[in-house]
Amino acid sequence: MRILLAEDDRAILESVRARLQRDGYQVDIAENGADAFDLGRTSQYEAILLDLGLPEKAGLRVLADWRGRGIKTPVIIITARGSWTEKVEGFNAGADDYLAKPFQYEELVARLRAVLRRANQAGPGALERGGVTLFEHSREVLAGGKKHDLTAHEFMILRYLMLHAGSIVSKEKLEEQIYSDSVDHQSNVLEVYIGRLRRKIGDRRIVTRRGQGYLFEKDAE
């Protein structure tokens, strides 16, 4: 799952990025508002963590400009500003949630999962599509009456496919969501993970569309 973290405090930036990456997220960073705006405008993210006090372009201005362009990516504001008026300004600009500094990482992740569930209309802690249930907290999948553990990459691939069930997802889009730029996108790494997932949830659930990508078949028997 791909997240944008826009934060100019280097210590917070590195700490949050490292912990999110350990939890299986792919994290892009921006240390000023101008870069944050460009990344949010040109790249696709599942969610954005946005500091208000960014240099070059204020976080509220960035958020308002995204919303003005029709960008609906869930945004959690992270800021040292804690007054109720600033919270109101943030929500009025289009924020989905608000987290004041200092914060505990566990609260940040809980809020992140909550906005993702709301955005995707998923139930708390679990994602269900056509008889397959994905448990987000434990990274397990239940299919055909059997529960299987998933690796971080298996989890991210399956989650993205399930969120887009019934639609073809290109190989490039999956790689963009789950891999860093250092991964060789010409390799067959993705195919290996798809093969592992098929062994866990059934061969007919993830369909290959040659030349197009993969489709999670929500009506497969």
Domains of the chain: 2-120 (3.40.50.2300), 126-216 (1.10.10.10)
56 falls in which pLDDT band (50, 70, 90)?
A: very high
Average pLDDT for residues 163-170, to the nearest whole number?
91
Would the pLDDT of 24 be above 90?
no
Average pLDDT for residues 113-126, to the nearest whole number?
69
Q: Which two tokens stand for residue 55?
A: 């240099």
pTM of the model: 0.62
pLDDT tens-digit series, residues 34-55: 999 999 999 889 899 999 989 9
pLDDT of residue 31: 96
pLDDT of residue 168: 94
Best CA proximity match to 41, nearest among 75, 91, 1, 79: 75
Name the most confidently modeled range: 24-28, 65-69, 118-122, 150-154: 65-69
220 falls in which pLDDT band (50, 70, 90)?
A: low
pLDDT of residue 174: 85
- What percent of the chain is predicted at pLDDT more than 90? 45
Mind spelling out the 3-state secondary structure of the chain? CEEEEECCCHHHHHHHHHHHHHCCCEEEEECCHHHHHHHHHHCCCCEEEEECCCCCCCHHHHHHHHHHCCCCCCEEEEECCCCHHHHHHHHHHCCCEEEECCCCHHHHHHHHHHHHHHHHCCCCCEEEECCEEEECCCCEEEECCEEEECCHHHHHHHHHHHHCCCCEECHHHHHHHHCCCCCCCCCCHHHHHHHHHHHHHCCCCEEEECCCEEEECCCCC
177 falls in which pLDDT band (50, 70, 90)?
A: low
* Strand order through the sheet with 213-216: 168-169, 213-216, 206-209
pLDDT of residue 182: 44
